[in-house]
Structures are given as C-alpha cells and as structure tokens.
Amino acid sequence: MLRALGLGISSALLPAGVLATSRITAQRVNLTTSGEAIITRAIPSSGEQVPAIGLGTFMTFDVLPGGPRDHLKEVMRLFWEAGGRVIDTSPLYGTAEVTVGDFATALGIGDQLFIANKIWATGEYLGDVSHATRSLERSLQRLWRERIDLMQCHSLVNADVVVPLLRAWKKEGQVRYVGVTHHEPAYTDLLADWVERGGLDFVQVNYSVLERRAEERLLPAAADRGAAVLVNMPFGKARLFKLVEGRPLPDFARELGIESWAQYFLKWVISHPAVTCALPSTSNPAHVVDNMGALRGPLPDRRTRERMLRHLESIPGFDELAGTPWYPDKQYRGTVTRAQGELRARQ
Ligand SMILES: NC(=O)c1ccc[n+]([C@@H]2O[C@H](COP(=O)([O-])OP(=O)(O)OC[C@H]3O[C@@H](n4cnc5c(N)ncnc54)[C@H](OP(=O)(O)O)[C@@H]3O)[C@@H](O)[C@H]2O)c1
C-alpha cells in the first residue's frame, strides 16, 4: 500500500528557495482519497514510507464519558481522506485511546493506521514488567488492535526496564517498532544519549520554531544512527498561533504553496532532513484539513527555513512566547483536565 510512486521533482522546475524533495529523501506517495500525491518519509530501520504529517491526541481526543465527540470522528475521517496515517496516543491521555479505537473501527481504517503508542510504567519492584504488560494489553483492547505499530517509552519513565521490554515485544511480534519520547527541552540531550546508543527505530521530541534544542545533538544523532524522528508540539501547544494572530503571511511563503500559519509552522518542521513525521493535534475538523495541506507543494530549503525563522523572530513577543501558558484560548474538557482540577482543589 505504501509503495512510493517516486514522483521526483527536478530542482530546475522549482522557484529559488524551494527544496527538490529528492535531495532530502522525502518522497511523494499517492494516499489521499482524491488521488493527490503527498509528502512521505522513510522509516530508516525498515524503508516503510509514512506521511510526514500525523495526528496527536493529547487533550484534543480526551473527552468525558458521554460528552460530545462526533467532531473527533470527523477529524479522523478528514485526516484519513487527506492521506494521514500516523496517529500518536498514550494511555496517559485519558480517553484518547478509546476515542481513536472506536472511530478507527467505525471508519473501517483500524488496521491501516500507523498507531504510535506509549508505555508509562514502573512496576511492583525493580525490574518488574507486570504494569507495562498490563498497559500493553489494555491499549490493544482499547485500540482494537492485535499489535501496535510503534511503542515508545513515555517521557523516559523507567527506561532502563521499559526499553529492553519493548525490544522483546518487537521480537515477539506485539509491536513493530521501538522508540523513546519526551517533550521537555531539558530532556532532549537524554533522548540523544539513547539514540546514540543505537538500536532504536524511533525517537519523539519537542521541535518547532519555538523550541530548537533538538537541532544541536538529537537530530544529527538520529540521522547518524538511523532513527526515525516524530515531532511533538509542532505549534508549541498553540502558542505560535497567538504570536501571529491578525498578521498576514509573508509573500515569500506563497512560493512554497503555504496558505496558512499552520502550514508555515509545519513545513518548517518537516523540511528538516532528519524529521520523519510531525504530530500536530487538533479537535477541529477545519484545522486538520488546514494542517494536512502542509503535505502538498514544495518544502523550503535550508536558506528559506532560516528566513522563515528570522521572520517569526522579528515579531514582537517571540522571545517571551516560550514562557507563556500552554493552549491559549483553548478549553479541553476531558478526564485529564478534570483530574488535574480535582487535585488542584485539594491543595
Ligand atoms: N511524548 C510526549 O511526551 C509528548 C508530549 C507532548 C505531546 N506529545 C504528542 O504530540 C502531539 C502534539 O503536541 P501538542 O498537542 O502538545 O501541541 P501542538 O500540536 O503543538 O498544539 C496543539 C494545539 O494547536 C491547535 N491547532 C492545531 N491545528 C491548528 C490550526 N490549523 N489552526 C489553529 N490552531 C490549531 C489545537 O487547537 P484546536 O483543538 O482548536 O485545533 C491545539 O490546541 C500531542 O497531541 C501528543 O500526541 C507527546
């Protein structure tokens, strides 16, 4: 299904500042229901192609039991139609796994999605894997799957036990790929340590125009050791939209086929040669269509990426943005929000 069509683009046909996709090993594959080819990247350890934009589910896919959620089925349907395959979730995300599992089954796409999931488990004693094993079993049930495509050690919790266990699961066939994740910039070098040791199929890291620490060690290490890179927080948890609120896109962005700020931020992320797939999350059907638009048209080259960054840095407020609250103007009413509120109320 994922065989590349190999639609290379000659650099001679592209405007200045636009990267010929073949030079950065991005390919174009026909996965959309409209038949349009989209940008994909190869997983280094297998050669399997995946679309360079996926879907995150933290907060956005966590709904209270009985709460409205039809909009999330629409997000998944439109994601699929636009060629989306990679969905990132976790047992830590409240009911997100259940939501993904229910709607993937209802849409008849359950086995065709590439599910990136996570394990956050310690154990009853040092070296005990019973909690992690129960977590896997529950995820398989919630997602209606017989195996998980990618299992990641969530936030490096108990990584010395969990990563060897993930490798065992891969050998035994319960998972296809093994990875580690974190989202705090302070842990980016620790992720790089794990990648440099070798033997990982994937690493997932926080990377955006707002958070670029991964460029120093992690992304070069992943390219060197053949680890695929998933990117979380590509919009800096929606804070980047606050920065550009009411501002027009610069004219040079149009040459890249960029039609929105979301596509600007995403094309910047996926044009880094080491990045395999960015994982923007959304609860809004119109936003998923917008985000998947970044899979079409040319990607920026190194100089144009630099120009895109400088443009954002020149906007007043950029320097303070990283210190501002997550998800400005958003309200997600799921089990995670409820539990966090209840705990705060007891303090
Ligand atoms: N491994 C880890 O430790 C870890 C940590 C953090 C995140 N992650 C993964 O990475 C995923 C993405 O990160 P994130 O969700 O934290 O942050 P993000 O993707 O940077 O930002 C998500 C926010 O952007 C908004 N948004 C999305 N598309 C938009 C558009 N086109 N226009 C305007 N607003 C838009 C969403 O609001 P709307 O709902 O209104 O669209 C949402 O509030 C997560 O869902 C999760 O799967 C993993």
- Per-residue pLDDT tens digits of the chain, which is 347 residues long: 333 333 333 333 334 444 433 334 567 777 777 778 899 999 999 999 999 999 999 999 999 999 999 999 999 999 999 999 999 999 999 999 999 999 999 999 999 999 999 999 999 999 999 999 999 999 999 999 999 999 999 999 999 999 999 999 999 999 999 999 999 999 999 999 999 999 999 999 999 999 999 999 999 999 999 999 999 999 999 999 999 999 999 999 998 999 999 999 999 999 999 999 999 999 999 999 999 999 999 999 999 999 999 999 999 999 999 999 999 999 999 999 999 999 999 99
pTM comes to 0.93
5: CA distance to ligand 1 center in Å? 30
Structure tokens at 290: 């917008």
* 314: helix, strand or coil: coil
Taking only Cα atoms into account, the Rg of the chain, rounded to an integer number of angstroms, comes to: 19
Find out whether the beta carbon of 58 lies less than 6 Å from any atom of ligand 1. yes
Cα distance between residue 217 and residue 265, in whole Å: 21
**DSSP line for 218-269:** HHHHHHHHT-EEEEE-TTTTTHHHHHTTTPPPPHHHHTTT--SHHHHHHHHH
Nearest to 309 by CA among 234, 228, 212: 212
Cα distance between residue 206 and residue 213, in whole Å: 9
Find out whether the beta carbon of 239 lies less than 6 Å from any atom of ligand 1. no
Domains of the chain and CATH, by start = 25-345 (3.20.20.100)
Counts of helices then strands in the chain (DSSP H, E): 12, 13
Confirm if 327 and 238 have CB atoms less than 8 A apart. yes
Residue 326 burial (C-beta neighbours within 10 Å; 0-12, 13-18, 19+)? exposed
327: CA distance to ligand 1 center in Å? 8
301: CA distance to ligand 1 center in Å? 25
